[in-house]
Structure 1
Amino acid sequence: MVVLKSRSGKQVKKDAGNTGNKENKKAVKYVWLSSNKAIFLATADAKESKYSVSVPIIPLHGLYYSSKDKQKYTSKELSDYFVILNVKKDDQLVYYLRKGVVVIIGYSEDNLVIVSDENGENNDSDS
């Protein structure tokens, strides 16, 4: 006697290694600088493409332009997105885009205050 078994009971997930939840992921927004004054934090190293350099950022101040949407956004409006800043390759800003760097554009050094400890390192103690 031959017994046939159905394989419909077994379901293999192709994406078993991906444990992330798609609802929790932020939408990606590719932007260009639109104002003369901006402050942002580079969260990763820059990646080079054919005509531009792109870097993930956290925008803190300024106006940013999305060429896909043809719309300008403030830094507050971009807080719900994973923001990637595009910069032309020939722009001098490209040389400063590294992970962990805070970039301040359009402000004089007289209007900027940087506070650190004597050694230039972070102070981990709670005071």
Structure 2
Amino acid sequence: MINQVSILGNLATAPRQEVLPSGTVKVSFLLAYNSYYTDRSGQQQEKAEFFWVETFGRSAVNAGKFLVQGQQVAVAGQLSGGNIRLENGSYRNCTAIRAEQIEYLSKPQSRTADPDVEPAVANVEF
């Protein structure tokens, strides 16, 4: 069975780094991308999709140093199920990706460059 996924999106949350009891570094973040479709009335619609991403070891150390909220990244890894805890204390099912490879793409634009553009904000607590 093949379990491989590649996603291009933007960090919806700042990366969260932690050291596991084993000493392994883990970094987690929420990745968002927009999907587009045409509804029954023929109108173009946009929907945000979210993936919970976790990476470990050397990849996690680099992600913790270089990733910032809003940055565009390409993630390749394996899919798994997962839950995220929302700020209100409830949990929500979320597709999770165990990232094996992260490609750092564009950094988020300065807020002064375009004041009408707001960064994506997810209502998530790690």
Query: What is the TM-score with the length of structure 1 in the denominator?
Result: 0.33
Larger proportion of helix = 1
The TM-score, its normalising length taken from structure 2, stands at 0.34
Rg (Cα) greater in structure: 1
